[in-house]
Amino acid sequence: MTIRKRKPSLLKPGPRAKRKRIPVAKIMSIYQRRLRLHNAMPVKNVSVSQRNIRIGTGEDWTNAIEVTRNPAWVEVNNADYVWSDRNPTGDFAVVSRRFRIPRGDIERGSLFLSVDNYAVVLINGRIVVYDNPEANAAFFNPGRTFNVRRLLRNGRNDIVIIAFNLGGARSDANPAGVAARLDIRVDD
């Protein structure tokens, strides 16, 4: 009877088996073959990352001062309610922001706007929102979302919001505020 010796398994070495080190030259040879194989394959366009840009109203906007949110107003994530810092009790406010969008395809662009009472919004000189004034001073707009992708461009962009307070000056009895948030997705 012949006893056959089993070859030691490379995947599961026995307790006494010694692990052999693969020489660096062999590793480099495997790497070079794999690299040649990858170089011969057609290149696929793969998006490694996507960038999300979020810009919300705040005191960093031109001519803006943060105002206390009225409990009846919707809470806007990543944005504060603002009004004119030049005339905090005025019946209108003009606030603006300049921002840059890096190179890449602009996949999405949305504007969320909440205003008491009504507003006109322009992006890069084009009208996004042109509200009709309501006859009721207690009216406020609880928030709407607009698709603004077609108005955005790579490089410098501007947004201007002109908000109006129906019924006169802004006060505790006649509150006014505007909150806006731009959400932009750029594909590298």
- For residue range 27-69, what is the model confidence (pLDDT) as tens digits? 555 556 555 654 565 544 333 346 899 999 999 998 999 999 9
Which pTM was predicted?
0.72
Do the Cβ atoms of 88 and 65 come closer than 8 Å? yes
Task: Tell me what pLDDT residue 141 has.
Answer: 74
Report the chain's mean pLDDT, rounded to a whole number: 80
Task: Tell me what pLDDT residue 150 has.
Answer: 96
Q: How far apart are CA 32 and CA 25, in angstroms?
A: 10
Provide the pairing of β-strand 92-101 with 155-164.
antiparallel
DSSP reduced 3-state for 36? helix
Q: What residue ranges define each of the domains in the chain, with the CATH number in brackets?
A: 51-187 (2.60.120.260)
In this predicted structure, the answer to whether residue 21 has a pLDDT above a threshold of 70 is no
